[in-house]
Amino acid sequence: MLASCLQRYLCRYVLWLAIFWPAAIVLPACAQTFTIPAHEHKVVIPFHFIRNMLVIQLKINHCGPYNFILDTGCGAMLITDPLLVDSLNIKYKKKVKVTGLGEGSDLNAWMVPTLDVNIKGIEAKGLSAAILTKDVLEISAFAGIPIHGLIGYDFFNSFPVKVNFADSTITAFNPEKTPVWRKSNPVSLLIEGKKPYINANVSFNQNINLPVKLLVDLGAGHSLSIENGWNNCNSMPAKFITAANLGVGLSGPINGYMGRINQMAIGNYKFQQVITAFPDSCSAMDKVFTVKRDGSIGVDVLKRFLILFDYPHNKLYLKPNCAYKTPFEHDMSGMEYYAAGDNFKRIIVCRVEPGSAADGIGIEKDDEIVAINFKEVARMTLQEIDQIFRSKNDRTVLLQLMRQNTMAKLLLTLKRRI
């Protein structure tokens, strides 16, 4: 079961998510917004930055706290832990279908229209949400901590929201006291289908430049994904990883390619040699995306800025931070792994990329990583482990592995694959 976990939960680079309420379902006529206490100018919310995900704590129906991913790519609130159905004392629910990008079928979920949600004093009454009947994503194993769901549009649409990656805080501002941002680059933000989009330009190589419409996706760990255009203009990068596992949607794994494009421009900001995902599941995208788009930008780009999302005024404000000029890097080990055990302290390999550094020294699926450079992984976060495996080309790392009750030590030399 654990060995096939990556085929079911969020992988390293991207969370693809789309939720659609069936047209026949009519939600109660109640406010779907959060409100800041009237006497507060702003509320500061800390977040944990885990594997390129922003995890905040919230309470539902006065229960919790629960760990939720803050995700602009998420339309309606999604609860991924089905056990919450019983613990939240839900009085009304109706079964619906949830559609997600991937190779499998749609999923069953409960539609719940009457949740009370509290995020550090910011409240929403009668919030609607979907609760999966089965935790197919298993994001907890990916994150190494319990994850109970995702929240997006209802929060961001309620007031201006500042995201500061430097100090790991989210600041929600009273709508009547919107801050004035100076020395920043405002970008027009288009809200469609409860999700934010911007216009940008990408240069695949010296000869091919395309204007693109991109989803601004805080729930995606990748830098850039180009879903339309690349397969029609012979624009694939010269060097790429084929059949890469790009992630998993609500209905199954997503396959495609990983490579680097020459340049991406957002407003006045330009990035060189951006690592880019190229999903090949076009038919699945046609099924999921009701808003026409060319791709998405994720946290590996967004974390280079101090950001103000202003949905009410259709603006996105960007200020470069200290990580702005950091080169884009990809995993150099060739391993994918997840956290297991009661406290998520065991690290299990669930996939090894053929021809990668890990494959070259004989690491196999189901191997357990016990220690890295003499430090037990039980004393490390998955974020720390990720940083080691994408740190430097030709760096040598000492691994201690367990395979079928046999311990082994191996020297892994990291290799930049794209």
3-state helix, strand, coil in the chain (%, to 5): 15, 45, 45
What is the spatial distance between Cα 382 and Cα 369, in angstroms, rounded to a whole number?
12
- Structural class in CATH, domain 335-413: mainly beta
Beta pairing class for 335-340 and 368-372: unpaired
Helix (H, G, I), strand (E, B) or coil at 304: coil
Are the CB atoms for 304 and 323 separated by under 8 Å? yes
Note the pTM of the prediction, 2 decimals: 0.87
For residue 265, CA distances in Å to 21, 190, 194, 271, 315 come to: 34, 17, 24, 6, 17
Q: What is the per-residue pLDDT for 8? A: 33
CA–CA distance, 178 with 158 (Å, rounded to integer): 12
The per-residue pLDDT for 240 is: 72
Domain boundaries for CATH 2.30.42.10 within the chain: 335-413
| pLDDT for 187 | 94
Confidence at residue 242, expressed as pLDDT on a 0 to 100 scale: 62
* Burial grade of 267 (CB within 10 A; 0-12, 13-18, 19 or more): middle
Give the CATH fold of the 179-320 domain. Cathepsin D, subunit A; domain 1 (2.40.70)
Do residues 368 and 401 touch, judged by C-beta distance below 8 A? yes
- CB–CB of 349/364 below 8 Å? yes
Q: Which residues of the chain carry a pLDDT beneath 50?
A: 1-31, 101-103, 233, 250-251, 282-287
Please name which of 298, 310, 312, 290 lies closest in space to residue 19, comparing C-alpha atoms.
290
CATH of 2-176, one of 3.50.50.60, 2.40.30.110, 3.40.50.300, 2.40.70.10: 2.40.70.10
